[in-house]
Amino acid sequence: MKLFDPISCTVTKNGEMLTNATGRYRKALSDLRGLYADREAFAGREKTEGDRVVYEVAEFRPSDRAGDMIFGVTRMVPGKIGDEFFMTRGHIHRKADRPEIYFGQEGHGVMLMESPEGEIRVEEIGPQRICYVPPYWIHRSVNVGEKELTMLFAYPADSGQNYDIIDKSGGMAARIVDDGTGGWRAVANLDYRRRSKVDVTRALAEQ
Ligand SMILES: [Fe+2]
C-alpha cells in the first residue's frame, strides 16, 4: 500500500490562506443568487458588486477515501443583503452520517444548523471556539460581525456535499438577520417548505 506523505500547512493572513493547499474556490455575490430573502436588494447589489468575492476556501484534500480527512480554511467578508448577513450556500454531507468541526480563527460568526426534520440550532463562532456539526445536520456559516470571518474546518474525506437539500426546501428554516442593536437574531424563513418524510428518509440514507 502506498502511504501518503505527512504534511504540515500554515494558516496565513494573506490571499494564500493555507500553505500547501491542494484546492481553492471562491464564491462571488452573483453565485449566491436566490439565497437571500430580499430579492430586490440582492438584484441591486448584484448589478454593482456581482463579481465581488463573498467567501473563499483553501483546502488540503489528500484523497477522497473513507477514513481520510479533508481540512482547510474558509474566509468570508462582512456584509448584508437587506438585514440578512452574508452566508455560505450551506449543505448536508452526501454521506449524511459524516460530521465536521469548525475552529474559529478571526471575526464573529454563527453556524446555522438544521436537522432534516427542520429543527434549527445556532452556535456562535469566534477565535478559539470550536463548533461541532454532528452527523445528519445541514450546516451553513454566517458572518454576523464587522470584520472578516476566518475558520478552519475538517471533515471525513468521503463526506461529499449535497446542496440540493437546501434548494428544494426554499432555503433553511431560519434566516440570520441584524437585530438592529449590533447583534444578530434568527427569524423564520418565509420561503421555507418543510421536507416530506420521504425526502427526510432519502437525505439520511444517501451514500
Ligand atoms: Fe460540511
Q: Read off the pLDDT of residues 130-163 as tens digits, 9 standing for 90 and up.
A: 999 999 999 999 999 999 999 999 999 999 999 9
Q: Would you say 87 and 120 are in contact if contact means Cβ atoms under 8 Å apart? A: no
Q: Quote the ligand 1 centre to 161 CA distance (angstroms).
A: 7
Which residues lie below 8 Å from residue 12, measured CB to CB, with a gap of 6+?
18, 19
Report how far ligand 1's centroid is from the alpha carbon of 139 (Å).
Answer: 7
Ligand 1 centroid distance, CA of 91 (Å): 6
Residues lining ion ligand 1 (Cβ < 5 A) are: 100
Task: Tell me how far the alpha carbon of residue 92 lies from the centroid of ligand 1, in angstroms.
Answer: 6
Report how far apart, in Å, the C-alpha atoms of 148 and of each of 80, 102, 107, 137 are: 13, 15, 6, 25
pLDDT, residue 116, reads 95
Ligand 1 centre and the CA of 136: distance in Å?
10
202: pLDDT strictly greater than 90: no
Which H/E stretch holds residue 33? none
- 181 Cα to the center of ligand 1, angstroms: 31
Q: How far apart are CA 85 and CA 124, in angstroms?
A: 14
